[in-house]
Amino acid sequence: MQIYLISDNIDTLTGMRLAGIQGCVVHKRDEVREMLEKTIADKSVGIILITEKLSKEFPEITESVKLNVRTPLILEIPDRHGTGRNPDFITNYINEAIGLQL
């Protein structure tokens, strides 16, 4: 099973290549859609990593794939600019999950 990265910047791709993960850099809606379709069709890929920035820019594409495709698993990762989440997102997530204020 392979992991494939779809990124919006070369720095993230370079870092992942050092870890042995192949990928591509895309910037436009059509490129994102095309690479997702191509990667999903490749049965050797078990996990697709996509940068949070791309996922936020084109949510209709990524959400559609996440809801309708069982494999491969699609994970959003932060890029070199960091995560787009609030600094206390884990605490908020726990608060919502258990209903207690921490």
- pLDDT per residue over 38-55, tens digit each? 999 999 999 999 998 888
- What stretch of H or E contains 74? strand 73-77
**85 within 8 A of 55, measured Cβ to Cβ:** no
- pLDDT per residue over 55-99, tens digit each? 888 888 888 888 888 889 998 888 776 666 676 766 776 777 777
Length of the chain: 102
Q: What pLDDT score does 81 carry? A: 67
Cis peptide before 78 (omega within 30 of 0): no
As its CATH architecture, domain 2-98 has: 3-Layer(aba) Sandwich (3.40)
Cα–Cα distances in Å, from 58 out to 21, 69, 90, 91, 102?
Answer: 23, 17, 24, 27, 34
Q: Does this model's pTM top 0.85?
A: no
